[in-house]
Structure 1
Amino acid sequence: MERHSIPRILIPSSSEGRVTRRLFLGGVLGAGAAAALAACAPAGKSDGGGGGDLRVYSWSEYDDPENLDGFTTKQVLVDSYSSNEEMISKLVAARGTSGYDIVIPTGVFIPQMAENELLEELDLSRLTNFEKLNPAFRGQAWDPDNTYSVCKFWGTTGFAYDTQVIQRELTSWEDFVDAVKNEASGRTALSDDPGEICAILPFIKGWNQSTQDPAELEQIRTFLVDELAPHISAFDSAPGGGAIPQGSQALVHTWNGEARRGILASPDPDRWKWVLPTPETNLWMDNWAIVKGAENIDAAYEFIDYSLAPEAALLNTEYVGYGTGIDGTEEAAREAGVERLEMIFPTEEETQRMYTGEINEAQQVRMEIVAEMKARAGA
């Protein structure tokens, strides 16, 4: 299929690669069972009558606090996770007693979450602002009828570097790897995401980022464990809140909004440079979804619909640094003078170099590779 035929649309490189229920459960529990089982259900869990607070399990700093405070139906309490695998493993281990009402999975994980009965089917008639979502961000291959999910944010993956430490221009994934091994050795953070980490070499080699080829996977293992791991100092999915503004890392592999958040918070933002690397990189969509058995379903619908309204979407875009897919947000952000807009909305030329990965039979291998890499890095 033509991966780049429609810019600005998140299209999986294949609609195949479905994962069996057994592999999915084994993979996520193998990756995060200890953390999941150690984590108790959030405090204040209601008695089943829809009382208590609305509880959201989300990525770090993923809503403008003004939006959270402006929702008056219930108090919104948010816990954060650093990877889809961490979130899923907790839901699986809780067996319907996690206490959460809303989660924000990345699109490619949704078919397996639905198959394993982790998500409620949506009644789109209860989301009056769904029609404000641009058609390009509806009906993705992993949820063609928006049965379980609605776009919250979309973005891409690259890296930011400290130009006071790395005093040359970096533009490609090859440049990134070279800097990891040289100027940024011991001061490089990777996102805590197996798919993103394992995609670095495929982007360089021109392989599919979600490759299932055994020979290519073995090369990825050697590259990450033997070549890169000795130079990595952290696996961090939220460097915008620490590593970048504090300058504790010189090179940070991350998402565009997270990089923007960190650069804006830096006391010297001009020392940081964001790179959307060549030749290719990832394009992803994170989604609103309601947890199976949620105790506050009415409030969950109200909060999702409230967040899809153009005013709330603009606040979230400015605060978090990602597009929401709501029509007119980019234009409204430009009129409002939102800073570093180029980091939020890639150009059409840049989107032509992006494509979405998939969850397939190699997912467990990727998680094993990254676990081995972390052990070797001592991070």
Structure 2
Amino acid sequence: MDQPDHVRALVPAALKTSLSRRAFLGGTAALGAGALLAACSSSSGGGGKGSAGLNIYTWGEYDDPAVLTDFTAAKGPKLTVDSYGSNPEMIAKLSAAKGTTGYDICVPTHSYVKQMASSGLLAELDHTKLPNMKNLSPKVVDTTFDPGNKYSVCKDWGSTGYVYDTTVIKRELTSWADFLDAAQKEASGSMSLLEDQGEVSFTYFYANGIPENTTDPAHIAAYRSFIIDKIAPHVQAFESSTNASISSSARTLIHCWNGDARLGILANSDPNRYKWVWPSEGANLWQDNWAILKGAPHEDAAYDFINYVLDPTVSLKELTYIGYNTGIVGIEEAATKAGIKRPDLVFINDAIMSKLTYSEMTSAEGTIIGIYDELKAAAGK
């Protein structure tokens, strides 16, 4: 089966088990029924400067196929969508290529925008070419990680919590402290942690009243001792995408992002089996962002695409597909009117929002990564 001429998806075979934000489902999943995934090596790039089209480098299965095909129908550029499994992987590839990948757009998470900008990877945005930025909520613009939206524009945002199997864990869990306790008890040997070094550390920091961006050596040493000695023996798996595990009732306790939790719960034959928890202590707040790469071969098309997806009608299609808030003014009301399922797992109320914190890249990042590597090596032993 050939791919449609207007949309081409490139997903490195090595990433099929590690794509984040939405699960890689195999077959034609990444672009729905409209396109067939073609495997390629991770060194492959988009089209060069002489090609007509638009080349997007993003997370797997992270856009509504209808939005991609509708954009081509409306605006003309053929799309190539290439996928990565983590921000560091994306940055490493772009840095090594030194502007020769042919990519036009990438989708960094908030904490990496400043690093990419200072490394000369991102173009400064011309806001006159993005008139639909006016549709974005004040909550997602002029952020601490990109004042004035100099380099990036909100794609969507969410937070982190967990789900637990109520047929196994009979008590009510409400906090990170409960999560860590259940991991050592009812869920021992049947629990997973996110394949994200920072998110794992935040479970301990929040449970113990420690700021998530701490660099205090004593806090970090205490985290290492706890996570290696108390949690590692009980961990069954590390997952970057969790909706498949939730939908198949694979584990008792699952650390996850809210959008993935929603997809898994809705796909489960018993949608009441798993309960989602917004932890009472607070959690990480992340925002993924559209950004245009410096030297983008199809810069005008890149502006056209980003502006296109910031249209409220298009944004609603995106939200319905990916299950994350797109930050457009009035999107919650529009989604509710459209009858979206489980809006409580998409839209975060003010009480919960007041406890969420943007993660930052700190001087302790290398140590946190090292502890995570130790944790993975010790898991299940």
Answer yes or no: same fold by TM over 0.5. yes
In the TM superposition, what whole-angstrom CA distance separates every residue of 1:182-226 from its partner, at most 9, and x where no partner exists? 222222221211111111111011111011001111111122222
Whole-angstrom CA distance in 1 between matches of 2:235 and 2:204: 16
Q: Is the 8 A contact 1:60 1:238 kept in 2?
A: no
In the TM superposition, what whole-angstrom CA distance separates every residue of 1:110-143 from its partner, at most 9, and x where no partner exists? 1111111121211111112111112221111111
The residue identity in structure 2 corresponding to 1:48 is K
Whole-angstrom CA distance in 2 between matches of 1:271 and 1:152: 31
Does residue 141 (structure 1) correspond to residue 144 (structure 2)? The answer is: yes
Does residue 234 (structure 1) correspond to residue 240 (structure 2)? The answer is: no
Greater relative contact order, per chain length (Cα 8 Å cut-off, separation 6+): 1
Q: Is the 8 A contact 1:82 1:192 kept in 2?
A: no
Which position in structure 2 is the counterpart of 1:63? 63
Q: Is the 8 A contact 1:101 1:297 kept in 2?
A: yes
Q: Is the 8 A contact 1:83 1:192 kept in 2?
A: no
The residue identity in structure 2 corresponding to 1:142 is F
The residue identity in structure 2 corresponding to 1:60 is G
Q: Offset at 1:291?
A: 2.2
The residue identity in structure 1 corresponding to 2:43 is A
Q: Is the 8 A contact 2:189 2:380 kept in 1?
A: no
Does residue 186 (structure 1) correspond to residue 192 (structure 2)? The answer is: no
Whole-angstrom CA distance in 2 between matches of 1:187 and 1:225: 17
Which position in structure 2 is the counterpart of 1:5? none
Which position in structure 2 is the counterpart of 1:157? 160
Which position in structure 2 is the counterpart of 1:255? 257
Q: Is the 8 A contact 1:41 1:99 kept in 2?
A: no
| Structure 1 counterpart SS, 2:115 | helix
Q: Is the 8 A contact 2:48 2:101 kept in 1?
A: no
Q: Which of 372, 375, 378 is the matching residue for 1:373?
A: 375
| Structure 1 counterpart SS, 2:144 | coil
Whole-angstrom CA distance in 1 between matches of 2:48 and 2:92: 24
| Structure 1 counterpart SS, 2:254 | strand
Q: Offset at 1:257?
A: 0.9
Farther-moved stretch of structure 1 (77-86 vs 354-363): 77-86
Whole-angstrom CA distance in 2 between matches of 1:376 and 1:181: 15
Which position in structure 2 is the counterpart of 1:290? 292
Structure 2 unmatched ranges of 5 or more = 1-39
CA RMSD of aligned residues (A): 1.9
| Structure 1 counterpart SS, 2:56 | strand
Which position in structure 1 is the counterpart of 2:78? 75
Give the direction of change, closer, same or farther, for the CA distance of 1:142–1:46 in structure 2 (3 Å limit).
Answer: same
Whole-angstrom CA distance in 1 between matches of 2:168 and 2:78: 44
Q: Offset at 1:99?
A: 3.8
In the TM superposition, what whole-angstrom CA distance separates every residue of 1:50-100 from its partner, at most 9, and x where no partner exists? x25533222233212211221113333333333322322332233323343
Which position in structure 2 is the counterpart of 1:202? 205
Which position in structure 2 is the counterpart of 1:340? 342
State the identity %.
46
Aligned length: 339
Q: Residues 1-379 of structure 1: matches in 2 within 5 Å?
A: 40-42=42-44, 45-49=46-50, 51-72=51-72, 73-240=76-243, 242-377=244-379
| Structure 1 counterpart SS, 2:272 | helix
Q: Is the 8 A contact 2:109 2:287 kept in 1?
A: yes
The residue identity in structure 1 corresponding to 2:58 is S
Whole-angstrom CA distance in 1 between matches of 2:47 and 2:81: 15
Whole-angstrom CA distance in 1 between matches of 2:47 and 2:60: 24
Which position in structure 2 is the counterpart of 1:14? none
Q: Is the 8 A contact 1:83 1:237 kept in 2?
A: no
The residue identity in structure 2 corresponding to 1:367 is I
Whole-angstrom CA distance in 1 between matches of 2:169 and 2:78: 45
| Structure 2 counterpart SS, 1:156 | strand
Whole-angstrom CA distance in 2 between matches of 1:189 and 1:86: 22
Whole-angstrom CA distance in 1 between matches of 2:79 and 2:271: 32
Q: Is the 8 A contact 2:47 2:55 kept in 1?
A: no
Give the direction of change, closer, same or farther, for the CA distance of 1:223–1:269 in structure 2 (3 Å limit).
Answer: same
Structure 1 unmatched ranges of 5 or more = 1-37
Give the direction of change, closer, same or farther, for the CA distance of 1:219–1:164 in structure 2 (3 Å limit).
Answer: same
The residue identity in structure 1 corresponding to 2:286 is W
Q: Offset at 1:154?
A: 1.5
